[in-house]
Amino acid sequence: MNQVQCRIFSNTFNPQGLRLGNKVLRQRLKGPALASYYPRKMATFQDLQKAYPDWETFDEEQEDRIEKLKLLKARGKGAPKKKKTAEESKKFKGNKKRAAAVAAGLA
C-alpha cells in the first residue's frame, strides 16, 4: 500500500527509514542563482599583456607593488629567501632555540 502511495505522489519508497538525501536532492539548484549574483569577470591587465606581448604596456599597480617590496627589503622587512634544497629547509624546522643556535654556529 505504501509503495503504491509513494508512486502516486512521486515520493521515494523507503520502508527502512534510511537517510537517502532525497530532501536535499529535491531542492532547487543554487548554481544559477549564485552565478547570476556575482558580476561577470572582466579582462584584466595581465590578460591584455598575455594577449599582446609585443605591445609595450605599463601596469602602474604592479610597478607600485614592486617598488613597495624593494623599499621593504631595503629596510630588512622583506620576505625571507626560499630554501634551495630540502636539507636547508629541514635545518630550521622544530625548536626555535635550536634554530637560533644553529644560525649562530653554536650547535
Evaluate if residue 37 carries a pLDDT over 70: yes
Domain ranges of the chain: 1-55
DSSP 3-state of 84: coil
Q: Which three cell numbers stand for residue 82?
A: 626560499
Q: What is the pLDDT of residues 66-102, one digit of tens each?
A: 999 999 999 999 888 888 888 877 776 665 666 566 6
Q: Are 92 and 82 in contact (CB under 8 A)?
A: no
The tens digit of pLDDT for each residue in 41-73 reads: 888 888 888 888 898 888 898 999 999 999 999
pTM summary value: 0.40
Grid coordinates in use for 55?
Answer: 605591445
